[in-house]
A and B are shown apart, each in its own frame.
Chain A
Amino acid sequence: MIYIADNLSNYFIYLFIIHFGFRLNPRKNRIFIGASVLIMLSAGAYNVYFDTNSPIVYLLWSVLSICLFFEDRLWHLVILSAALMYFTGIVDTFSVMLIQVVLIGGGIDSTAVTWWMEPAYLISFLVYLLIYLRLFKKNDVYLCDIKFKYKLAILIQGGIFQIFYNFVFYFFNENHARYGLDAYAVFFISIAGALYSIFLTLGLAIKNILSDRQNRELQSFMYMQKQQYDYQLQQSAAVRRFKHDLVNHMGVLRELASQKKTEEVKEYIDTIWNMQDEFDLKIHTGDGLLDVILNYYFYLAKKENINFAVAGKLTEKTSLEMFDLTTLMGNILQNAMEAAVQAAGPKIRVELIEHRKEIFIVVSNSVAKEMNNSEGFLRTSKADTANHGFGLKNIAAAVRKYHGEYYMESVVENGEAMFQISIAIPKNEIPKENRV
């Protein structure tokens, strides 16, 4: 029975780590999940029957059960489960040592599984739970986001500790009569320290990711700011050129007027009128900052022959800070532009809907062909896979910051495939004076 309890505890810990740490979801198919449980139980039964704890059986059942239970690429699951088996083994060893030191004073010399070892799983589980709550959930970074080299480093770190402690523990077991309580206390503390150092390494890896993330956000913000600044410069240069030409225009007009050529005068004025019209901001939404962003993309869209339309007005500024509004709208419109140019009749539509408590922003763009709404497709639909996907993450982060909601879907409008992102931002989430 002990073997079955052992397998069960391990199984639940695997499920916990993979689901919450690596963010993999169980398969939808219940047969697979049933088979996964069955394999785990039958491995336990095998161990009970032969009263053995064969490492091969252990490896087999854990890899097989995990591959059957979760939905992911197969080779990824195989590596993941094998590595996980090794790592949980390390932590379990530590937990067992902790119990042994406290309960028995280090006097047990056996490799067999016994009942008193079972609470070790509880300790291990507490370690994982602590890591999950204090590191992953708090920072919104999970094991799946952590770079491979860090994961490997943690594995190796754990392995080195394990080898070291096995020797020390062996020595203790042999000679425990010679030592007093203080030696056990030191041993206890150092093992707890080993666990803590794994915790710290993970924390560092997460810090690293967080700062990367922030860096990327800043970079994308700076890039967009620079683009808009260039556009403004260009506009102001055009205005200055126009002003310079104004004298000439006046001269021509005076000449035409003195010759009483009213038709020509009218025509000429119309031409100048159209020229000055170019400098105007074309889009007025009621939010000055949003106007700057939208007008910039309007200008870009015109260059690419994309039909760009904005519908709706705001009676008050959005509650978003400059940085967030630029990141949010910049990323959305950038993605929309990139997708729309590939469509037959490229167009982008921005809708602003203001309600009492929330502001809704809906951006739709035409796409080359009907898009699959699955996340996988969104990630791979671009040639530039390296930079894509971050845009979406930045969008998600900005929306989350203001306690908003967003949804992406593909819709068919008048027989045309469109991609649509809808965002809701609660009004006045942040006091107005904070607005840059």
Chain B
Amino acid sequence: MKICIVEDEEVWRDKIKAAVFKYCMDKDIPARIIAYDSGRDFIENTDADLLFLDIELAEGEDGFQIAEKIVDSGSQCKICFLTSHAEMARQGYRVNAFRYIDKKYLEEIDEALDSFFKTKLQERIIYCKDTDGIRIKISLNGLLLVETSGRKLRYLMLDGREHFCEGRISEAAQNLSPFGFFQVQRSYIVNLKYIESADSREIVLCNGLRIAIGRVHGREFKKEFFKWRMLFED
């Protein structure tokens, strides 16, 4: 995990770095924290996972412009803007960032980090035995759905690969449910992340597959899908 800070004023830079460092220490999260004093230095390598970015930087640099550049470069980096009250009231909030953090209330950083690490929920790998008894790795991030196929489970990945594994769908549903998966009916578990659209009767996955929602699961699905949408940008 790489977390960057771009802030021209040394006092704030140190304070923010300390706050992020403390959070990662407390939660035992391995992270590299790098602080820059200008956007120019940062933009050289934008591979950060999370960026705390001041809006009004020295030498006329504008945080919003830097943010736009980062987004345009196709970076997956989430941006938390650092603001001071008076300035924001004047400008409005122009870019839809991950968070706007008021420098007066740096404790908001903890909340932002909490939410940020929640979005990393699916960055993990599960193992299961395939039909030949070989242990295979499945990255939850790339797992589209799990479906019963005869007496086996078919794990369909986003890139079209599929794995056939032993196991029961109810157990799989139980194991996967904390990570944004939901059993929409008797024979399907889907990754909530890859739902394109949903109504009360069926869901459409991003590959165009339509799956009917089981009658008993309808209400619960709606709620889970709601929670998921709230936590994660589509």
Specify which of A284, A286, A311, A353 is in contact with B230 (CB 8 Å cutoff): A353
Per-position binary interface string of chain B over residues 47-90, scored 1 when its CB falls under 8 Å from any chain A CB and 0 otherwise: 00000000000000000000000000000000000000100110
Assuming the contacts A286-B93, A355-B233, asked whether A311 and B111 have C-beta atoms less than 8 A apart, the reply is yes
- Nearest A residue to B88 via CB reads A284
A321 close to chain B: CB less than 8 A: no
Give chain B residues whose Cβ lies under 8 Å from the Cβ of A355: 229, 233-234
A422 close to chain B: CB less than 8 A: yes
Specify which of A315, A353, A357, A422 is in contact with B95 (CB 8 Å cutoff): A315
B178 close to chain A: CB less than 8 A: no
- Most interface-central of B100, B111, B223 (chain A CB within 10 A): B100
Assuming the contacts A355-B229, A424-B230, asked whether A407 and B223 have C-beta atoms less than 8 A apart, the reply is yes
- Nearest B residue to A356 via CB reads B234
By secondary structure, the B interface counts as: helix
A142 to B222, CA, bound (A): 24
A362 close to chain B: CB less than 8 A: yes
A323 close to chain B: CB less than 8 A: no
In the complex, which range does the number of interface residues on chain B fall in? 20 to 34
In the complex, which range does the number of interface residues on chain A fall in? 20 to 34
A153 to B83, CA, bound (A): 64
Query: Once the chains bind, are A313 and B93 in contact (CB under 8 Å)?
Result: yes
Specify which of A311, A315, A353, A357 is in contact with B93 (CB 8 Å cutoff): A315
CB distance from A308 to the nearest CB of B (A): 13
Give chain A residues whose Cβ lies under 8 Å from the Cβ of B100: 312-313
Give chain A residues whose Cβ lies under 8 Å from the Cβ of B89: 281, 284
A284 to B81, CA, bound (A): 15
CB distance from B38 to the nearest CB of A (A): 24
A284 to B100, CA, bound (A): 11
A427 to B233, CA, bound (A): 14
Query: Once the chains bind, are A312 and B99 in contact (CB under 8 Å)?
Result: yes
B166 close to chain A: CB less than 8 A: no
Give chain A residues whose Cβ lies under 8 Å from the Cβ of B230: 353, 360, 362, 422, 424
CB distance from A412 to the nearest CB of B (A): 16
B92 close to chain A: CB less than 8 A: yes
Give chain A residues whose Cβ lies under 8 Å from the Cβ of B117: none
Query: Once the chains bind, are B234 and A424 in contact (CB under 8 Å)?
Result: no
Give chain B residues whose Cβ lies under 8 Å from the Cβ of A405: 222, 226
List residues of chain B with CB under 8 Å of any chain A CB: 85, 88-89, 92-96, 99-100, 108, 111, 222-223, 226-227, 229-230, 233-234
